[in-house]
Structure 1
């Protein structure tokens, strides 16, 4: 198991764009999300390697290293021309890769004196991971879960409560941001996160915590790619394409960016990095590179991201945690510089890929992971410039045992795909300031990291 996380920041073509203040505020004001100082450093410093704290490493050892195998049955089923290597992150209590950063964040927040962590979650993997991490480190946990997802997957709520968390369906009756919603953001991760931000702000000893698109979260997820590099080397195997699903970007960043950093360090050409996103929220393939809000409150800094607009109402689908309007700053910057490719996948194709994988590999993928498997299958079956020549590595970011309702609908022929409304996309993106054309000044030295919590190390 790795003893250090690896940052991609030293290997970017240029520094990440600085954040802008919230709309209607002066530079340096309006930021209410506090972070432990170490997470601030991990977001801003260009140090490449960061030691994993001993307490976090000990917690990792209950489920890491995670398995990597060549999916020969899946290869045969899809007619693959090259090997497909699968990294499986579903073998822990949360059922997904999210526990990698949840444990790290709970550790740092507790050291900073926080007693309760509050978060928003889409499909529930992140909420479950944070509930587990809070239980391990002795913190209270409150989760706002997208209401439509909680209704489809009620046992996600049961598992979070079993781990000691308090769970609320979003929109809830507990926050002003939910009460003010006109239905345009209902059943969206943006609103659930906004409720968590507001709720945490009003509780003593509480802090908002999130685990997908943040630079420090992607750093913690680098254990995935670092293990893959060693595991592939032990098999004398090489890949020229690395695939992960993208909601905001943590599991994609975790598996792909260590390969990019290693190649840049060695002066080699990196493998093709392919982000698989939901066709219902195609920020990387149909969005704009602009400054946008990260949640429905709009009180935090506006970040440079590929986005379809935080005001866009994302169609309901079984894409779960992929139903988010924007991509992480790091992933967006790499996409903008041409280092990351993106493919949008419909829910039917994603679940069908998951069904095939289940039948031929005896592992049931989450719907999010099905999007990545569908893209990996295309790359493995195509030749030339559009495919892979040596092999494909794909992150199976979680299991699908709490998503069987989606597979039931697939088997019953009840699923279809709804394309985003072009007019709605244009309207949601039209007023966003494009990166490079900003009209407001930056927040300053710690822009986008949030204000550090006193006492953090």
Structure 2
């Protein structure tokens, strides 16, 4: 019986041989990137920053893009396909008729979903003869993932880590250094951008926007170096769809289909990873499925931002992108969910929010740590603070199902574990949040 399925299979054939590209299925085209002059950005312009292959993927209108066989083998080596688990104990605690399933990305070596695109971007860079990649990181999950990918494909990695997270999460720095990367707290004294900010405020907590600016500046001013991004752009979200494509196969095996899909959102990569393969069903009008995207109240781009053109970084080095944004100068409060402290939202996800296909929701730090504690005590896994946002929405929807006495299938992305984020949980348990 379906109710007996607590864990799905993880055989190699569950891992797809392609990524899903949502661009041809969106209800309207993504508005083109623009320069400050208004000129439309051409693909070759982005090749100053990114590898040729990911730029090609960024603009591709192919619905399915093949995963290179060598890269697919690497995915298998790092633990894909990841498990799909049923949160039976959480269901019982909530006394809900809902069935809760979660895709657990925390089993990868770096403990989060970020490695899916990190490996892809490093793979392409290595084959194009690039020596070094620069990047930013918030909580450190993306920086850790790219550091691992660099070590696997023989690349040097430089990471600009948001200063408040650099201080809150010292062991993330240790992880990155073990993989051979160099890490700087951002704003740093390594770039003109960082030096200017530190001159104005030596104790600046930093932001993802500032860290992106520094990583871009470094790449532009260095030889044989490219920039690597962990979220927001189409090629990044594309790589993450291995999550949802695997989940689809795993749910089919046990004979269920979700009524609700939930994920947390900073720039949008892990939400897109779990949801986009299912959103295609919705866009084809063959599904009544709901999609809930959860953000922190401290960085409410979806719930309080404006849909307009804006820079992706704090210094205005990126092209202008049309997205939901709080403004590129916005500095979010120093919350523990560092991976969600971003002012903007992926362009494709912005369109889905605009059309009401994705429902945005925001929670406070206290609410999400309470949810993370409950999940740890029922399911045994300590969620990353980012993923705890999704857990909170799952709990709310499961309680709603109980109150309405409706059987619902809820799927969410547990995009990473919180074992290197215990400072936040410590502060919560000590009543400091």
| Structure 1 and Structure 2 fold alike (TM over 0.5) | yes
Distance 1:99 1:343 in 2: 26
The equivalent of 2:263 in structure 1 is 244
Distance 1:404 1:185 in 2: 23
Any idea what the Cα deviations from partners look like across 1:75-126, whole Å, max 9, x if unmatched?
A: 2233433111111001112110000000000011122221100000000000
The equivalent of 1:227 in structure 2 is 246
Match of 1:119, SS state, is strand
> For 2:62, which of 47, 53, 59 is the aligned residue?
47
Q: 1:386 to 1:339 in 2, by over 3 A?
A: farther
| Greater relative contact order structure (CA < 8 Å, 6+ sep) | 1
Contact (CA 8 Å) 2:41, 2:319: kept in 1 or not? no
- Compare 377-386 and 166-175 and name the one that shifted more: 377-386
Q: 1:364 Cα shift?
A: 1.2
The equivalent of 2:18 in structure 1 is 4
Q: 1:384 Cα shift?
A: 10
Distance 2:47 2:334 in 1: 30
Q: 1:32 Cα shift?
A: 7.7
1:61 aligns with 2:76: yes
Any idea what the Cα deviations from partners look like across 1:323-368, whole Å, max 9, x if unmatched?
A: 0000101100111111111000111111111111111111111000
> For 1:101, which of 103, 117, 124 is the aligned residue?
117
Distance 1:386 1:21 in 2: 50
Q: 1:27 Cα shift?
A: 5.5
Distance 2:216 2:333 in 1: 24
Aligned residues: 413
Contact (CA 8 Å) 2:241, 2:272: kept in 1 or not? yes
Q: 1:386 to 1:15 in 2, by over 3 A?
A: farther
Q: 1:385 Cα shift?
A: 12
Distance 1:77 1:367 in 2: 21
Contact (CA 8 Å) 1:380, 1:391: kept in 2 or not? no
Distance 2:211 2:50 in 1: 19
> For 2:206, which of 177, 180, 187 is the aligned residue?
187
Q: 1:327 to 1:136 in 2, by over 3 A?
A: same
Q: 1:298 Cα shift?
A: 0.9
Distance 1:99 1:270 in 2: 31
Contact (CA 8 Å) 1:380, 1:388: kept in 2 or not? no
1:37 aligns with 2:52: yes
The equivalent of 1:152 in structure 2 is 168
The equivalent of 1:17 in structure 2 is 31
**5+ long unaligned stretches in structure 1:** 416-457
Distance 2:431 2:404 in 1: 31
Contact (CA 8 Å) 1:240, 1:388: kept in 2 or not? no
Match of 1:237, SS state, is coil
**5+ long unaligned stretches in structure 2:** 1-14
Distance 1:171 1:28 in 2: 28
Report the TM-score, using the length of structure 2 for normalisation: 0.91
Q: 1:363 to 1:34 in 2, by over 3 A?
A: same
State the Cα RMSD in Å. 2.0
Contact (CA 8 Å) 1:8, 1:48: kept in 2 or not? yes
- Compare 384-393 and 47-56 and name the one that shifted more: 384-393
